[in-house]
Copies of this chain bind each other. A is one copy, B any other.
Amino acid sequence: MDKPSQNLVETIYSDLRLRLQRSAVSPADRLVDMEIAASYGISRMPAREALLRLVSEGYLVGTTRGFAVRELSLEDISGLFEVRRQLEPRAAASAARDMTPDVETALTVAIGRIEQTLSAGDIPGLLAANVDFRNTWLRAVTNPHMAATISRFMDYFQSVRLGTFADPTVAARYIDGLSAIHKAFLAHDPLAVHDRMTLFMFAAEEAYLSVRRGQLEEAETVRPIRRRRK
């Protein structure tokens, strides 16, 4: 969201955030300040501060050995979606009202890319296109506090998302929902956008819950994951 900035912490923070958004960090990975620092050729402190910031925002958790992406419990997912349900339909509706033509075309492009990557079975591409779509309508949300909050809540789900699209049935329904939202945007109908987004929220919640349930019972057996502090 911010420009390059000649500030190291900001740079590292953005890079890491991007990697998290793209699910480029697995929950098994450990992010260590010294490694990151070395890869940028800088000292530990900026890397450490960026990591700490991601922890305070809830994207990472500190373990006794490095930082790891936070894994969402089923309660987390429900709770996060309760908030999303309150915000996103309203925000999307206001975006539909205030949208400029270029946003409109960008949305269409994004939807096209989503359908294309879906039929090609290109999961990473689908993921990226999906992020594009949401960022595009979010750009038309004039209230920056609203947009930032929504963006933040969406980003919590990146560790689950890959799995969401693995099941073709789920993926198809997901895309159908997006497509309906897109149509409502094109019709410049804020109320329809609101309703469609509401429906979409429930479908998405179910999808994430089901995926996460699967992940959890699969890992039922072995799973240490130690936190910090006595």
A-side interface residues toward B, CB under 8 Å? 5, 7, 9, 45, 49, 52-53, 56-57, 76, 78-80, 82-83, 86-87, 90, 143-146, 149, 153, 229
Contacts and interface: CB of A to CB of B under 8 A. Distances in A.
Contacts of A90: 86
A83 B149 contact: yes
A144 B79 contact: yes
A28 to B, nearest CB: 25
Contact of A145 (B5, B49, B83): B83
This chain: how many copies in the complex? 2
Given A49-B49, A86-B86, A145 B80 contact: yes
A145 B76 contact: yes
Nearest to A85: B90
A88 to B, nearest CB: 10
A52 to B, nearest CB: 6
A71 B128 CA distance: 36
A141 to B, nearest CB: 10
Nearest to A146: B83
A78 B80 CA distance: 24
A7 B144 CA distance: 33
Nearest to A230: B6
